[in-house]
């Protein structure tokens, strides 16, 4: 029986492990954290709240395939995520929409802007803030500059420690301007949350007789790469190795560290029914943190008199440090992509190694994209290692 080594028990590692295990391969997973679930991990705290330990994770996708796969391991309840942002002292919907406009502008001006927006972008439900700030219509451009300043400039400077102009447009364009009253954060056709949480979902995904899991185990201390071959605990490892961690660490930062951004999460348990009117409130401007999440509003738990909130403070990434030691966000730009390609090129000398996931592929991707890529990667591996019997149950 072929043995496959997988580094990381987030969605990338766990989904691949499950598909390979169901197709008769033996899988060993090494996970450096003391728990499964990667950044999706939730912990039930002293307040009874299932707290999103690594920041709010809301599932949304247009992929029936991904949703069908995940539903094998959990029931889901419908959940449409709504975010408010504190702007000029008021809480308004983010993405900025017509309600935000009407809350922050005098009524007549708001109506005129709405008419001009609808005339300038016929048939469009959403536009990029960057379209608006480069509009040929002076009034729309001024409106765009206002939204850009109040919503994007300072939040982005905090989050990325870079002026907004230097941050890749793909990052900024994750959050549009909405030409209407839709106040949902995401537009995907499937928006749902796992009924008993992500950790339970991962538990069931990894519960298979062909999967062996070692927690609190940094693979870098066990795995070595020499002259095209992979070694585990000093012995040549004959099967494939799937690596979902940061690729620069795997090569001892040979070409210099790959830039990532980190976060610090500060939790507070409160004796309140409710702390804020939405699961997530963004603080784009004055505060040092970017957003506050009230986890029980994501999990759907009913816990009178108790709630837990978490503030997110952006931090520089410093490998191994107590603060900022976890690489959460790749920083997409041309120079970083080129550096990543150097690492990928050097690692291509190891044909048994497959890089997969948000960190390993240096892709700012959502959970559904990570799962989709993992399902494809599992099929790739099965074609090579289990050619006679491949299936992906739906």
Q: Which of residues 28-57 bind ligand FAD (CB under 6 A)?
A: 30-33, 38-40, 54-57
Which of 9-17, 99-107, 168-176, 267-275 is the region at the interface with ligand UDP (rule: CB under 6 A)? 168-176
* Residue 11 binding partner per list ligand FAD, ligand UDP, none, with a CB distance cut-off of 5 to 8 Å that depends on partner kind: ligand FAD
Give 38 or 93: the residue with its C-beta nearer to ligand FAD: 38
Q: How many CB atoms lie within 10 A of CB 294?
A: 23
* Residue 31 binding partner per list ligand UDP, ligand FAD, none, with a CB distance cut-off of 5 to 8 Å that depends on partner kind: ligand FAD
Q: What values do phi and psi take at 293, rounded to 5?
A: -110, 135
Contact 3, 361 (CB under 8 A): no
List the end-to-end C-alpha distance of the chain, in Å, as a whole number: 24
Residue of 265, 266, 264, 262 whose CA lies nearest to 328: 262
Under the binding rule (CB under 6 A), the answer on residue 9 touching ligand FAD is: yes
Question: Residues 151, 179, 249, 367: which binds ligand UDP (CB under 6 A)?
Answer: 151
Under the binding rule (CB under 6 A), the answer on residue 156 touching ligand UDP is: yes
Under the binding rule (CB under 6 A), the answer on residue 263 touching ligand UDP is: no
Which of 43-51, 169-177, 295-303, 334-342 is the region at the interface with ligand UDP (rule: CB under 6 A)? 169-177
Q: Is 356 helix (H, G, I), strand (E, B) or coil?
A: coil
* Residue 10 binding partner per list ligand FAD, ligand UDP, none, with a CB distance cut-off of 5 to 8 Å that depends on partner kind: ligand FAD
Give 118 or 157: the residue with its C-beta nearer to ligand UDP: 157
Under the binding rule (CB under 6 A), the answer on residue 248 touching ligand FAD is: no
Q: What value does the CA radius of gyration of the chain take, rounded to a whole number of Å?
A: 22
Contact 24, 1 (CB under 8 A): yes
- Most distant CA pair in the chain, distance: 74
Residue tagged 């000093």 (tokens)? 234
H helices, E strands: number in the chain: 13, 22
Q: Which of residues 59-88 bind ligand UDP (CB under 6 A)?
A: 85
The token pair that represents 302 in the structure block: 């009913």
Q: Which residues form the interface with ligand FAD (CB under 6 A)?
A: 7-13, 30-33, 38-40, 54-58, 218-220, 244-245, 263, 328, 357-359, 365-368, 370
């Amino acid at each position: 029986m072929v043995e496959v080594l997988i580094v990381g028990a987030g969605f990338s590692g766990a989904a691949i492990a499950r598909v390979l295990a169901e197709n008769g391969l033996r899988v060993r997973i090494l996970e450096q954290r003391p728990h499964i679930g990667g950044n999706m991990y939730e912990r039930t705290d002293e307040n009874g709240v299932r707290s999103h330990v690594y920041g709010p994770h809301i599932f949304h996708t247009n992929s029936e395939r991904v949703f069908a796969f995940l539903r094998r391991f959990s029931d889901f309840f419908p959940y449409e995520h709504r975010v408010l942002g504190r702007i000029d002292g008021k809480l308004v919907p983010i993405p900025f929409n017509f309600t935000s406009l009407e809350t922050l502008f005098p009524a007549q001006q708001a109506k005129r802007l709405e008419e001009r927006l609808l005339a300038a972008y016929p048939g469009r439900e959403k536009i990029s803030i960057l379209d608006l700030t480069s509009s040929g219509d002076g009034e729309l451009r001024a409106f765009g500059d206002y939204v850009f300043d109040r919503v994007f400039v300072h939040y982005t400077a905090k989050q990325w420690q870079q002026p907004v102009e230097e941050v890749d447009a793909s990052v900024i364009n994750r959050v549009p301007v909405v030409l209407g009253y839709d106040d949902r954060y995401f537009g995907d056709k499937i928006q749902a949350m796992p009924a008993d949480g992500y950790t339970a979902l991962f538990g069931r995904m990894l519960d298979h007789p062909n999967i062996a899991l070692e927690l609190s185990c940094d693979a870098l201390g066990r795995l070595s790469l020499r002259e095209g071959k992979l070694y585990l605990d000093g012995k040549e490892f004959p099967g494939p190795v799937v690596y979902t961690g940061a690729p620069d660490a795997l090569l001892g930062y040979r070409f210099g560290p790959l830039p990532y951004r980190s976060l610090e999460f500060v939790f507070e348990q409160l004796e309140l029914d409710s702390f804020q009117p939405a699961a997530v409130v963004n603080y784009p401007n004055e505060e040092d943190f970017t957003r506050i999440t009230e986890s029980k509003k994501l999990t759907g738990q009913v816990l009178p008199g108790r709630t837990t909130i978490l503030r997110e403070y952006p931090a520089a990434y410093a490998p191994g440090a107590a603060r900022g030691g976890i690489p959460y966000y790749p920083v997409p730009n041309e120079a970083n992509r080129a550096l990543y390609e150097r690492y990928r090129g050097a690692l291509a000398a190891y044909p048994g190694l497959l890089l997969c996931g948000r960190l390993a592929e240096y892709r700012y991707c959502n959970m559904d994209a990570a799962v989709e890529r993992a399902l494809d990667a599992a099929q790739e591996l099965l074609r090579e290692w289990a050619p006679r019997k491949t299936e992906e149950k739906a």
